[in-house]
Structure 1
């Protein structure tokens, strides 16, 4: 032991020295000359900087502190330190040339350590980080023994720390307490080595004083947070942690440097005592603790953020699994698709509706419905309204929340999907509610409801609690509610009703087709209507053309926009698919484009959509599908819109078994509610308050084309050509005509219609009396006024009747008025049986009279619109007027005119009707038939001349009638009535017949002689005729017409 005087001087010297080191560690100034000499003695050739040592790939682990040849170890270390990596980076130093190596560990600890070393610069003795000096330091640590016990100072430090209850075993240290010094890295040029060195030194020096030992213990505990800087193993870019870690490393380096100075200058036996009199080293420890505490707080903060992120991820994962996050993603993707599809200009009018303005501005909970037919663009419009609500919300504080759902495909559990998506949407917009919802869900599971996400009542309860937990306006937008099945639809409407009663700031917007059942459930709800508007159609078409047909020539583009806009009739989905079909076909020239637009086929996608809808509405049940297809076929070919009851009775007639032969029996088969539910997507909006109103029609011509196209799927109408082929199209259409014709004929043959007169005799007598005539009023309707009025206007206020009240059912009016139109449209395969026509049109029958009386009263006004005397008609005359030529030839060929079903002279009767009402070419069919001889007489031509003389028929082309003179010329000569025909024609002034006879007489001597004999009198006209016949000079004939 040294003397006290000597020790005091030594202590004073070390106190000054440590203070000098502390000041230099905080100042960028260069160290003293003595320090510079120390650095130079470590490497006389070139001195690497501390940063260079950190970045080097050399490892001093190769030099163990137990190497028997310390000088050899130092030589190997120096040799390794001078090896240059090809990828090294050179960083200039003001006084020393340093070579840096690039292939450095990229971890955050090394980066912070490097910055700490570089920030200290010349204020730290680089030599103490060299392997030889570190090894010497560790050797000295091992030699510091207690003089009494010869115990290692390090182990003594361990025991001392444990004695003051410092739990070293619980600290996360880079040091093995059992063999601390033999496992130490003798170089501190890496983070790991430096931290281990500081730990060993700190434990060794901790025996100086109990207070100092406690500071050391706190220091060792804080060192553990260095390992946690990656925040639970996540590589994150946290600049605040990096800066704090740099400061911690600087303090550790200062501690290490100061400890090195103490341990390397004097004997180890007096080191511990010196620390008590020197306040700098404890001050360094205190600085370290402050910086380490900052680092700890930052790490804890970042860790807490990550833990919260992990919890949020777990919440998201669990909630997404419960509620079906994939469905939510599909909804978002579909909404984005609609954004690209829409023409905003075609939707902007919706927000100007008074109902929308009132709904949006209301202070309480409100519902609003957007109604439109299938294909009218409801879904695109709803997407527009979603974005419009979001746009308005961006300018508000607090912002409204908008949750939406598109019902794209009907199916089971739609209610569950809708409620789940609304909850998910709300949670995504307000993530602070996730933890609360998670707790509710777990609580529900704990109470025995293991799958709350499948329970609509529980989902509604969750949704209500979420809405009650927030204080801002929420919009629920649900599109296509009619796509849901009846049960799901009812559940959703009920849930929304309950929520609206309990949540004052909930706004609900629904869209659906105007189906009676939904309208009943949504009764009293304000409405927005998506109707048919040419201007809106034009906007939609123009947008579709710009998107898909931008390369079209300008004239072709203009043609497409004009024609498709005219054909759209409010059907946006048809518009879209037709434009896409043009794109697919690649039509560019105006000729093919015009042909395409004249015969627009049903796009394949649209046909698939209609098929899917039909399957959904009929639940894939064969009988339902049969009824629906029958109804759609009737509507596709009907001559006018039908009433709900008319359609139901027609379908019943078309599907009833053969034994149903009375109106009363057929009524039992009528089910209009079921029928409309099966076809409601395909028909226009109905007013179910008036079942007799003629309102049932297909929503678009594409539906009619689809129905006609489907006829080809029937085995008997398979077509080998394309659906656009005119012949195929005509055949399919005729098949539908035959279907409805058969229904009409079968209906009119029901028993009551053949036995009960529609008008009793007394009513017929009253009908003959003048009605509503004011003999003293000169303001009665004038003929010219009548020409400008419709029949509906003329019949307004007239007395009416209802055939159903007479026991004729609801389809009697249509069948009576329009069966003849379908009768004329069928040719070969769809022709009705002759027996059915003969029964329906039997001369003098009540059945014939009933439908004829109704035919001239299509709107059931008592006063008929035109003359139609049933006593003048029989099967042949009706067929001559209304049947196809094929049917006329068939009845002429196969019917027996001698039966009581026909008039006594059926051909004359038929010819009379043709000459008055029909097509003149049909006379030739009569003349050429096997019964044509009945017209080869003077009476037939007398009939022709009589009808020709009538004013009403002179506008017709009579030449084709007069040409029949040539057909019977030989017969007239043979039967000696040619001259009488000439006299008859001349007397009526019928010049066309006279001229034909005169001209033919020039080539036929027998005819000339017969005509001359007929003209034997001396009248002026007869003389002129005789001269004309004799010389063939038609100019001599100057009379007649």
Structure 2
């Protein structure tokens, strides 16, 4: 079972979170919205294409086309000019290459003409660092809370961190606008905050002006952008070469060009990381959210799709990658406008998700002419090549001039105490050796600063000893050695902190990291919360780790902000212990992937142990997380109608007003310490990440989830509030939770299997009927494999192997339109046991009632091998006492074919009609005298069912039950009065020759005759069928005193329109009626 998303593991509630965001966007029935949608759909004016200068991409600095890519014809086309009408599959390559070329030329010009870029970097830094009350700083403060709350498709820290341009110097000109670009997966309230910020911050305007100047001077126009042909562009580059920033620059250019195009193209952007953001469900959710935000009318379609899919699948469709992909694909094809899908960090996805994502995008491109796909990746080129059609590949190669600008900025900023001549030597060295790796330059500069060398000769000697970019691990190792000074206790402290950050599910606060490190010290853990607090020294840890961390605001130790300086550092930590970094290339005997996976599971197990042991602290067993006052606030916050007018707040109002913020709480105020929020919200993630490494913690996990305990109540309360809001983000009922429920639903499969092995050992911690609620939840979640393990368990299995639970599972197969194979495998696994323990006929009737054809077939396959089983399967008597002496009161009142037909499972009916020995079931009559036609008429009443059955049992059409009703009587008497009933009556009369008067034989009319019943209930269509196909006399139900009306009064609920329609029909039929001879 895959790990759950960081802030929301329960699948139903993950869907609810997505649905809640969508529901806030539903269009209101106002004239403004209608006009907006109409204007968008009708605005189709095309902007005239502009001309372009000639360009040969093979000469671009820092870029190289892949000569082996399929259909790579960029050079020949580009030499003809981008305005050429003959541009084909390479049009993306042409436009992208031109953009990057002009971009690089602008960097060259800035470097030559006096450091304009350096001035901009300095002004950005001064605005944010020195002028604490600047508009820029205020804007960032306004973004603080929503940025912390948003954990969706994009790692927002990456573009924000660009203000210190270690990734690429170009970030300085676009960093803040990238926030607005990259926010594509976030909530709309954050988007509005960014709009306000962009409108008021002058520094951002300066960045934007430079970007616009680049675009104007680079002649980046729209010919390529508006090409009607699909295309795929893949950007390759080494780690730290600036792929993300280059992608963001291109997105910004596309957004700028969008302003001039009609219809306006759509852009959907996703940034993948090596966590849940790289999973298909997350990626598709992000793309859909952006699509809905750009096309308001699709929000209603989303709600319809969600409700329809939820009904058909009996599970949350927002947790199904297949369902989400289907929605996105279907509605993208109906957009009738260009769509650009940009996936950054493609290599961060695991191999399974990469392959499926490329296959999905390629298939969508084949169906959608105006779709273009842009991917960036460090590797896996063959995976992409083998799946994508018409692909153009561009390599982002190092550029020494760009490296020189970054090197100069880093040295000037971080090495102010070094003499100018020494600085120039360092800049020259970094420029020559960087090979495009900005992260190597940053680490090297920090290392130089810590060595405090001021003499030129010593600096040159020192520089020659530094590892080169290809030996980045050795540079990290040198930094680690310098940070720890060779002291074993310091090495252990830094190692623990780095390993915790490498597997943490979100950025930690300074205090959280301090507490986590303290908990990992055997001398302080386990212990009291007060004792642990005394041993926490978060500033010591920060000072030691500072060179390996991103930007940190030490003034806010509770802010979730601690990240490793670069993805390469995380990968190195997951590959080897820091003390072995200098020899990491020689350590890997088991292969890089195997070794990395094993070490990551080990580190996940460490953080799992810390979290679980912390949550089991003695203090938490006697104190509620919420005070009585907070519980009162919670009730008020969750009252219906609270916030119902929030969307009516004027858009210009100050959204930072404290009155508009949700009420929050701090667990530490209740004595729960600084690590409680993280431990409660993310221990399940580490539980799944640790896999087999979690087994040692199973007894503690059982204790943590003990039914009815305050420990369970507290962590679930926190778990439902990942942002520390008083009002829950979603709900989990602790009444339904215990160790079995938690481990089976949320834990790794290996832990579930072990818990079932040791089940008797933990029964005291379980709640009554835990196995029943667990099976029901697993069924809703679609966990067929896990259900099989529980059904076959020697202790739990016998208690749940009953027909009602089996019916629930069979219904999941029936309701699932796709991915039925997993359920069919489950049936093959568990049905042999059910066959030994339950009556074959009971199983058959249940399967027919649920419409589960695979189970029906398995039963008949066993009957073909086992005569005794066949005899039991096809018996025609009423269900006897079962083998335990209990009456099977839950069974329906009919036999197999009657159950299948009554519930409308026509495929099952067809299959049964083909089986030998089924005749007794066709003619079966239950205790109330209902035959198969009565059953159909009394329930779903589908004409197709009658058409299938009549040829096999024509004599049953006019049989009466104990209430003296024929099937036609029941068809007409049905309470829904639908057109299906009229069609069914027509089949009974036409094919079956049914008596049109039902069970009545006399000459005088009776109150409950079909025609009189149909007339007074306003069934005009039924009246016509009974007269035209059955030959009944319409005059018998009309007054004969000369007045217009029925002999019976209409039922009260009928409208005057229905009454008039019925009378008109009957009088029309009476005028043309001719008695049958």
TM-score by length of 1: 0.41
TM-score by length of 2: 0.39
Structure exhibiting the larger radius of gyration computed from Cα positions: 1
